[in-house]
Structure 1
Amino acid sequence: MNTEKFFTHRAGIIAVAVVVCFLWGSAFPFIKLSYGLLDIRPEEVYEQILFAGYRFFLASLMLAAFLAIKERRIAFTKGSLPALLQVGFFQTTLQYVLFYIGLSYSTGIQGSIITGSGTFFSIILAHYMYSNDRMSKRRLVGLLLGFAGVILASSTKGALRFSFGLGELALLISAFSNSLGGILAKNRASTMGTVYLTSYQMMLGSIVLLVLGASGAGWKPFHFTGLSLLYLIYLAFLSAAGFALWNTLLKYNKVGKVSMYFFLVPVFGVLLSAMMLHETLHGIVFAALLFVVIGIIVVNQEKS
C-alpha cells in the first residue's frame, strides 16, 4: 500500500489519528511536570518561551534527520521561504508562545479541554476558505456545544465559578493559531513535501522562540537532570511525529474528515493529567469534556 492509499484509507486515518492524538494529549502533563522539575513559574514568561524553543528546535532536527534518511536530501528549496515563514509563525511561534504561557496559569485538565476548541476553529476557517467544506445547521449546533464545554472548562476546580482569565484566553487563541496554521500547511503541502514543510517551518518558528526567550532569560537558565532532559526529548519527539503525521493526513483529506478525531486529544489529555499530575476528576470536568467531545463529533458528522 502506497503512502496516499494508507493516509486516505479509513483504517489508516483512524490509526494515525489515534496515535497523534495520544501523543498530543500526553504533552499537557509532561509540560507541567517539566515546569516543576525546572522550577519554571507562571510569571517567568521568557523561561517558558525558551523551553518551548528548545523543544521545537530539537523536534525540527529530528524531522530533518528523518528527511535525510528517507529522501537523502535536506536542501532548502528555492522559493519556499515565504510559505515556511507563514506556517511557522502560526503553527509554531504564535501558537506555542500562547500555549506555554496559558498552560502555566491553568491545570493540565483545563488546557486539554480548551485546546479541543481547535477543531471548531478549523470548521469556521474551512467554511470561509474552501467551497466544498461549508457551514451547516448541524455544524453550528456542534460549535455551540463545543464552546459551551470550553466555557465550563474555566470552572474545573469543582464549583460553577467561571473565571476566563489570562491562561484560558491564551490557550484559546493558541488553538485558533494552530487551526489556521494547519490549514495553511494543507494549502502549502501541495507544492512541497509534508516532512520538509513541517521540519523547516518548525525550525524557523523555534528560532524565533529561542531568540525571544533568551532575550529575557539568557540562553541557559535551566539546570537539567536526567529526568527533565528525558521529558524534553519526549516532548520534541511527540511534536516531530505528531505534526508530520497530522499534516500528512490534512494533505490527503478534507479538513473535516481529519479534524473529527481531534476529540481524542482532550480525552487523552484529561485522563493522563489526572493520572500523572493527580488532578481531580469531578462532575464539571466530565461535563466540559462531554460537551467538547460531542461538539467535535457533531461538527464532523457526515450528513446521511
Structure 2
Amino acid sequence: MIKLYYIIPYVVINSLIYTFVKEGLCYASPMFFMALRFLIGGAILLPFARKLTVNKDVILLSVFTTLSTLFWAYGLLYVEPSESAVLSYTMPLIAIPLSVAILKEKTRKSEIIGISIGFLGVILYSLSLGIYFSLLGVTLTLINAIFWALFTVYFRKLKGLDATSVNAVQLLIGSLIFFALSPIQFHFRYSINFLVDLFYVSVLGGGISFYLWNSMLKTERVSKVTVLSFSVPAVSTVVDELRGIDVTSGMIEGIGVMFLGILISRMEKKISKPKVGILR
C-alpha cells in the first residue's frame, strides 16, 4: 500500500496547483514563469541531495519533464484548471503500456480494468465540458500527458537513485532550458499575487510535489501509482466550484466513475494456501 504521507499531500497540492499556475500566467509568460518555478524548486532540494548524478536517463527525464510542463502551461492559457486536470490525467492510460515496453513491468488485471474505468470517467467528464473548452488547449494538454507519462516511467527506471538528487538535477536542467526559451513571447508584470502563485508552484507544486511523485514510484509499480492520480481532478473540480466556476452533473458523474476505477484497481485477489496436514 502506497504510504498515505506521500499520496495525501500529493493529491492536495496538485489539486490546487492548476489554479495557481493559471493565475500566475496572468503576470508572466509561460517560459519565464516555469523557468523560475524549476529554478526555485531545484534550489530548495539541492541542500538535501546526497549525490548528484547526471547520466543519459536523468537528462532524458529532465527533457521529458520540461516538455510536459511546457505543453501543460500553454494549454492552461486556453482551458480552465479543472479541465486541464482532467485532460492531464489521461496520463495513466499512456504510462502503463510505456512501463511494460520500457521497464518490462507486469500489470495486474484489476489495475488494467480500474484504469480503463477511470479513463471512461475522464471521457464522461470531458463530454460535459461542451463548448467551453478550446481545441488548441485540449491538444496542448493531451501532449503534456504523453510527456508526463514518459517522465513518470523514468522516475521508476531511476528508482535506485536518491529521489532528492534526481529531482534537484531534473528541475535545474529544466530551468536552464526554460530560461534559454524565455525570450519567446516574454512578458512579466510584478505583483504580490504573482509572488504567492510562484511560491506555491515552485515550493509546494515544484520541489515537494516532484519529490512525492518520485518517492511513490520508487516503492510501487507505475500502474499502481498512476491509477491513484485520478483523485486529483476530483479535488480540482471542487476547487473550481468554490471559485464560482460551473460544475455540471456530467462532471460529477465522470468523477464518480474515476473513483470507481481507483477502487477496482485496488482489489487484489487473495489466494489461500492449502493447509498441509501430517499423516499419522
Q: Match of 1:113? A: 86
Which residue of 1 is the match for residue 118 of structure 2?
146
Q: Work out which of the residue numbers 256, 268, 273 in structure 1 matches 2:223.
A: 256
- Partner AA of 1:63 in structure 2: L
The answer to whether residue 61 in structure 2 is matched with residue 90 in structure 1 is: no
| Superposition deviation, residue 100 in structure 1 | 0.6
Contact 2:89 2:145 in 1 (8 A): yes
Output the amino acid matched with 1:81: N
Specify whether residues 299 and 180 from structure 1 end up closer, same or farther in structure 2 by C-alpha distance, changes over 3 A only.
farther
Match of 2:44 among 43, 55, 62: 62
Q: 1:291 to 1:104 in 2, by over 3 A?
A: farther
Structure 1 residue runs without a partner (length 5+): 1-9, 41-46
Q: Does structure 2 conserve the Cα–Cα contact (< 8 Å) formed by 1:152 and 1:162?
A: no
- Alignment correspondent of 1:290: 256
* Structure 1 position 122, deviation (Å): 2.2
* RMSD of aligned residue pairs (Cα, Å): 2.4
Task: Give a deviation string over 1:7-40, Cα, whole Å, max 9, x none.
Answer: xxx4x6122111111111110111122234x1x6
C-alpha displacement of 1:153? 3.6
| Shift in CA distance, 150/261, structure 1 to aligned 2, threshold 3 Å | closer
- Output aligned runs, 1:139-178, within 5 Å: 139-157=111-129, 165-178=135-148
Q: Does 1:274 align with 2:241?
A: yes
Runs of 4+ in 1 over 6 A off after TM superposition: none
TM-score, reference length from structure 1 = 0.79
Distance 1:131 1:20, change over 3 A: same
2:174 to 195, 202, 205: 205
- 1:28 and 1:273 in contact (8 A); partners too: no
Q: Secondary structure at the match of 2:183?
A: helix
CA–CA distance in 2 between the matches of 1:51 and 1:175?
20
Give the counterpart letter for 1:256 in structure 2: S
What amino acid is aligned across from residue 72 of structure 2 in structure 1?
F
Which residue number in structure 1 is paired with residue 95 of structure 2?
Answer: 122
Q: Match of 1:51?
A: 33
Cα deviation per residue 1:246-303 (whole Å; 9 max; x = unaligned)?
A: 211211222233233212211221112222x321111121122223333344345434
Q: Between Structure 1 and Structure 2, how many residues are aligned? A: 269
Q: 1:17 aligns with which of 7, 20, 29?
A: 7
What is the aligned counterpart of 2:24 among 30, 34, 40?
34
CA distance in 2, matches of 1:165, 1:301: 37
* Contact 2:37 2:198 survives alignment (8 Å): yes
The alignment status of 1:189 with 2:179, answered yes or no, reads no
Deviation at 1:184, TM superposition (A): 0.8
Q: Specify whether residues 18 and 274 from structure 1 end up closer, same or farther in structure 2 by C-alpha distance, changes over 3 A only.
A: same
1:51 counterpart letter in structure 2 = F
Q: Who wins on radius of gyration, i.e. which is larger?
A: 2
Q: Scaled by the length of structure 2, what TM-score is found?
A: 0.85
